[in-house]
Amino acid sequence: MTPTPPTVDLLVAPRWLLPIEPQGLVLEQHALIVDAGRIRDLLPLAEARQRYLPRQIIDLPQHAVLPGLVNLHTHAAMSLLRGIADDLPLMQWLQEHIWPAEGKHANPAFCEDGARLAFAEMIRSGTTCVNDMYFFPDATARVAGELGLRATVGLITTDFATAWAADADDCIHKGLELHDALKDKPLLRTIFAPHAPYTVSDAPLRKIRRYADELGIGIHMHVHETAHEVGSALQATGKRPWQRLKELELLGPDFIAVHMTQLSDEEIAEAAQLGVHIAHCPESNLKLASGFCPLARLQAAGVNIGIGTDGAASNNDLDLFGEMRTAALVAKAVAGDPQAVSAAQALHMATLGGARALGLDAEIGSLSVGKSADFIAVDLSRIATQPLYHLQSQLVYAAGRDQVSDVFVAGRALLRGGQFTTLDETRVLAKAGEWREKIKPYA
């Protein structure tokens, strides 16, 4: 007697499966089996139909299924500041426009409505995991939880007073409270987020290193974003910020350095040796004319890199498909080498690279048996992606975010057939309109 096949939650049958690991592998006529939120199997479709009894089958005959994208650096709520001040260098943009607007408006309601707008855009674009840094991280966490998005929320720290906290110690104290409050939420995690070397002094950075070690929390910080940042630190202290952070023992395998457009050969070697991860935000760096992160040199040294959009006020979208393409194209131009950062490498950075930086690579980042079922489907039958010769090439160099049809996190659909399942789009748009009226004087 043949045994009854096991019942499972879901069988996904796409035209192509791109597990990401091993790099370059493309499976055709294969199925993804999901049960209890996890990837139970990846096997030829004919065999899958015999071996499992799925409660639900999703046929995707023109689609590629791949791991959900990881946005390794953003400021979600800044979606409400999209387009208020364009075409400026970083410090003028921050000091004359963004910080005054945030000083007036960045309250819990702003952060909640902004995060909802940002996460709607991200889910639609195939992002399943986000590493955020903003005021009122409790509000960001609440919205991610409501929508079912996987999020690491930054325990923001600045020396200066904000509506969120009175000073750096207050930031750390409030951050630790939030860390405790999120302990039982499997999709939500925290990360220390000292804003930048020029806004956080040594004493709180030492405290952050101590708590990070004690509690196993990572650290996420803007570092060497511009030549101006490095030059003014050198002038004021005689040290480059990287050197200062190294002396404070902040740099290590739990540290994500955002931007890193200014790097000597020695600093690249140190990043590799210390196991520091880089969050590369090419479009924000281009728009603010901050500089170019030397991707090919970092990859050659063995540094792990993920991709971020930065906030919507310096990008101005939250589209990781666009960001992958920009990352690959700019890397080629910077290295003077068309082989620098291939389509497969760009996909790897936007999935497993980001997951690894967050310490989540045992859980997400590739379609591997036992990992969480965080995956997306991309419809490749559109004009923009036909004819199709090479899957990764099409996904990075030709596909648009509008081709994302389905988004799952931990086996739960957040987008099915292009429709949100956990979010009221009309409400999100109405709130964006209300905020526009309040913020308009700053634009």
Least distance in angstroms from the C-beta of 125 to ligand LTUXU72L: 19
Least distance in angstroms from the C-beta of 313 to Zn ion: 10
- 202 is an annotated ligand-binding site residue: no
Q: Which of 41, 102, 112, 270 binds ligand LTUXU72L (CB under 6 A)?
A: 102
* Residue 135 binds to ligand LTUXU72L (criterion: CB under 6 A): yes
Question: Cα separations (Å) of 135 from 148, 162, 166, 293?
Answer: 21, 8, 12, 26
- Stretch of residues binding Zn ion (CB under 5 A), selected from 155-163, 209-217, 307-315, 321-329: 307-315
- 222 is an annotated ligand-binding site residue: yes
212-251 binders of ligand LTUXU72L (CB under 6 A): 222, 225
Q: Which of 63, 142, 195, 348 binds ligand LTUXU72L (CB under 6 A)?
A: 195
- 102 is an annotated ligand-binding site residue: yes
* Residue 134 binds to ligand LTUXU72L (criterion: CB under 6 A): yes
* Residue 361 binds to Zn ion (criterion: CB under 5 A): no
* Residue 158 binds to ligand LTUXU72L (criterion: CB under 6 A): yes
Residue 314 interacts with which of ligand LTUXU72L, Zn ion, none, CB < 5 to 8 Å by class: ligand LTUXU72L
4 by Cβ neighbours in 10 Å (0-12 / 13-18 / 19+) ranks as exposed
Looking at the Cβ atoms of 312 and 340, the one nearer to ligand LTUXU72L is 312
Q: How many residues bind Zn ion (CB under 5 A)?
A: 1
Looking at the Cβ atoms of 305 and 377, the one nearer to ligand LTUXU72L is 305
* Residue 174 binds to ligand LTUXU72L (criterion: CB under 6 A): no
* Residue 15 binds to ligand LTUXU72L (criterion: CB under 6 A): no
- Stretch of residues binding Zn ion (CB under 5 A), selected from 19-27, 296-304, 308-316, 323-331: 308-316
Least distance in angstroms from the C-beta of 169 to ligand LTUXU72L: 15
* Residue 310 binds to Zn ion (criterion: CB under 5 A): yes
- 225 is an annotated ligand-binding site residue: yes
d(C-alpha 356, C-alpha 255), whole Å: 11
Least distance in angstroms from the C-beta of 284 to ligand LTUXU72L: 6
- 363 is an annotated ligand-binding site residue: no
279-318 binders of ligand LTUXU72L (CB under 6 A): 284, 310-311, 314
Least distance in angstroms from the C-beta of 279 to Zn ion: 8
Q: How many CB atoms lie within 10 A of CB 110?
A: 26
Question: Cα separations (Å) of 97 from 94, 135, 399, 410?
Answer: 6, 17, 34, 39
Least distance in angstroms from the C-beta of 164 to ligand LTUXU72L: 8
d(C-alpha 281, C-alpha 293), whole Å: 9
Residue 134 interacts with which of Zn ion, ligand LTUXU72L, none, CB < 5 to 8 Å by class: ligand LTUXU72L
Peptide bond into 316 cis (omega under 30): yes
Peptide bond into 22 cis (omega under 30): yes
- Stretch of residues binding ligand LTUXU72L (CB under 6 A), selected from 14-22, 56-64, 129-137, 294-302: 129-137
Looking at the Cβ atoms of 160 and 181, the one nearer to ligand LTUXU72L is 160
Closest to 299 in 3D by CA, of 255, 344, 364: 344
* Residue 75 binds to ligand LTUXU72L (criterion: CB under 6 A): yes
Summarize as ranges the residues that interact with ligand LTUXU72L (CB under 6 A): 75, 90, 94, 98, 102, 133-135, 156, 158, 195-196, 222, 225, 284, 310-311, 314
Binding residues for substrate are 102, 195, 225, 310
- Residues near Zn ion (CB under 5 A) are 310
Instruction: Give the residue ranges of the annotated binding site for Zn(2+).
Output: 73, 75, 222, 310
